[in-house]
Amino acid sequence: MLSARKSSAQKRAGLRAALKSGKLLRFPGAFSPLVSMFIERQGFEGVYVSGAALSADLGLPDIGLTTLSEVAARGGAIAHATDLPALIDADTGFGEALNVARTIQTLEDAGLCGCHLEDQVNPKRCGHLDNKSLVSAADMVKKIRAAASARRDKNFVIMARTDARASEGLDGAMARAKTYVDAGADAIFPEALADEDEFEKFRKAIKVPLLANMTEFGKTKLLTAKQLSDLGINIVIYPVTTLRLAMKTVEDGLAVLKKAGTQESLLKEMQTRAALYELIHYKDYEQFDKDVFNFKL
């Protein structure tokens, strides 16, 4: 009730241990705290906070328009609503190396368990769009070193994302990833790989945990959890899945409401009041309130 039962430190330690287990960790994207509660209920291993989903929820394209304070506030709210570890998209770190250092400490304070930083130039764009521009590997190394030196909890996961596959090829992306690991990255997020073969090659080249992005309508073939597990991938994210599901349902429902003039036919598609109250532990709050206010003025 009120927030997760586990502390941020406990969740970070748990994530570190899980990354060493050899098991695939599934992190669906949550664009709100309520969604993160459902992700936990369904038995997933973690929650992902997507920069693209957060931007879209604010009515903005994913081109680096969100601020650190916006991302930390939304990410923190999502992280505190669940006992699962939450990994957040920190885009390019909201600036240069010094800004990255502040970003890491702000996300730590917000209760996140880790973040990934990408090697794109600002204004960045979705990793599955063409014509992305990258910073030099040397500039990205500065950011990673700044991130590693700024964290205060050794279990906070610093992940480096490389978007080099499109412009520098698979070999170029793997070379950058190795450099980022040497600079202090705990894990690597190779964005927009094509298929199993490319993931397999990356796995053989990189010794730290790897993340696979199974986003819809992108450049990467959608692989099953079993396929990813067999390839030795450590984390899979489904960054915008829940937002896309929700928005399609909202779009269809509003069309029905406008045409019919009533939502009566949509009731079977809705989460009931009882189900919502059960998810947010309404009765627990009611009991807590009764226990506190058990006197008369």
| Pair 45, 15: CB distance under 8 Å | no
Residues marked active site are found at 48, 62, 89, 91, 116, 118, 126, 161, 191, 213
**Nearest CA-CA partner of 156 in 97, 96, 105, 91:** 105
**HEC sequence for the chain:** CCCCCCCHHHHHHHHHHHHCCCCCEEEEECCCHHHHHHHHHCCCCCEEECHHHHHHHCCCCCCCCCCHHHHHHHHHHHHHCCCCCEEEECCCCCCCHHHHHHHHHHHHHHCCCEEEEECECCCCCCCCCCCCCECCHHHHHHHHHHHHHHCCCCCCEEEEEECCHHHHHHHHHHHHHHHHHHHCCCEEEECCCCCHHHHHHHHHHCCCCEEEECCCCCCCCCCCHHHHHHCCCCEEEECCHHHHHHHHHHHHHHHHHHHHCCCHHHHHHCCCHHHHHHHCCHHHHHHHHHHHCCCCC
Instruction: Tokens for 167, please give them.
Output: 């412009």
Q: How far apart (Å, rounded) are the C-alpha atoms in residues 107 and 150?
A: 11
**Nearest CA-CA partner of 143 in 103, 113, 191:** 103
